[in-house]
Amino acid sequence: LDWQDHSASFRDIRYHKAEGIAKITIHRPEIRNAFRPLTVKEMRQALADARFDEGIGVIVLTGQGDLAFCSGGDQRVRGDSGYRDENGMHHLNVLDLQREIRSCPKPVIAMVAGYAIGGGHVLHVVCDLTIAADNARFGQTGPKVGSFDGGFGASYLANVVGQKKAREIWFLCRQYDAREALAMGLVNTVVPLAELERETVAWCRQILEHSPTALRMLKSAFNAGTDGQAGIQELAGNATMLFYMTEEGQEGRNAYLEKRLPDFGKFKRQP
């Protein structure tokens, strides 16, 4: 794939686009792609760019190199109330990124080689799909290192793998290989490491052939069940968008602007 480089303004990530696919790569391989607040800030910027780029239909999230997707928060900058930025302020801004991955109306695919651990594991969990290389290893470490993600990291994980398995993952802090992850429904497929990007691009291309609106509606529908009022808002927002695209919706706007009574009489009441 002929990736175009859009990384210029970034330090901790690489950002590429090709053929309707945007690829966000955490680029801190010397520490297994652990994230600091700047990393997350840049990932959020790239994700927003991909969301608002009409030419992009699917987003891939990955880590630099073969050793890790992401090893979670950079423990070297963990302060007493969050992860320290360059001004000394403490953040848990990966929680914002998690929400933005879920509410992004385009499919987000985690492409995982090596470790997806701790907060890095949660990142793949909140992606729509996960394609794992055969060297991938998954797990949470929170109770070992004095942390926990009781949001999507726990409750949504339980939706994905079931309550028993989710509790095991968090309470025991074990690591699971790609085969075990596939067996528990934590990933969509496992491929040889050398095939990882090729296979991920093939999945992206298949998605790109499909109706963007149908995909958008489905993603918000899947979210609605688990995201409470915010999930319903997302699904309902899409319903409003579609209604705005109808003549019936537009009659209301036109009548207002033309200072006349709306004529909704011509619109059928569907059974």
Q: Is 145 in the site for ligand 1HA (CB under 6 A)?
A: yes
Q: Which pairing describes strands 115-117 and 137-139: parallel, antiparallel, or unpaired? A: parallel
Q: Name the residue among 47, 72, 69 with its Cα closest to residue 131.
A: 69
To 10 degrees, the CA torsion angle through 96, 180, 202, 16?
40
Q: How far is the CB of 206 from ligand 1HA (least distance, A)?
A: 31
Q: How far is the CB of 138 from ligand 1HA (least distance, A)?
A: 10
Q: Is 17 in the site for ligand 1HA (CB under 6 A)?
A: no
Q: Is 115 in the site for ligand 1HA (CB under 6 A)?
A: yes
Question: Which stretch, 137-145, 157-165, 220-228, 232-240, contacts ligand 1HA (CB under 6 A)?
Answer: 137-145
Q: How far is the CB of 71 from ligand 1HA (least distance, A)?
A: 4
Q: How far is the CB of 210 from ligand 1HA (least distance, A)?
A: 34
Q: How far apart are CA 99 and CA 198, in angstroms?
A: 28
Q: How far apart are CA 194 and CA 181, in angstroms?
A: 19
User: Which of the residues 189 through 248 are near ligand 1HA (CB under 6 A)?
Assistant: none
Q: How far apart are CA 39 and CA 119, in angstroms?
A: 13
User: Which of the residues 39 through 98 are near ligand 1HA (CB under 6 A)?
Assistant: 68, 71-76, 92, 94-95
The correct pick among 17, 32, 102, 216 for binding ligand 1HA (CB under 6 A) is: 32
**Residue 64 or residue 71: which is nearer to ligand 1HA going by CB?**
71
The correct pick among 110, 118, 123, 227 for binding ligand 1HA (CB under 6 A) is: 118
Q: How far apart are CA 167 and CA 9, in angstroms?
A: 40
Where does residue 30 fall: left (phi above 0), alpha (psi -120 to 50 degrees), or beta otherwise? alpha
Ordered alpha helix ranges (H), 57-162: 94-103, 119-126, 142-145, 157-161
Q: How far is the CB of 75 from ligand 1HA (least distance, A)?
A: 4
Q: Name the residue among 106, 80, 100, 77 with its Cα closest to residue 17.
A: 106
Q: Distance from CA of residue 75 to its chain's centroid?
A: 23
Question: Which stretch, 115-123, 127-135, 190-198, 247-255, contacts ligand 1HA (CB under 6 A)?
Answer: 115-123
Q: Which residues bind to ligand 1HA, rule: CB under 6 A?
A: 31-32, 34, 68, 71-76, 92, 94-95, 115, 117-119, 141-142, 145, 147, 149
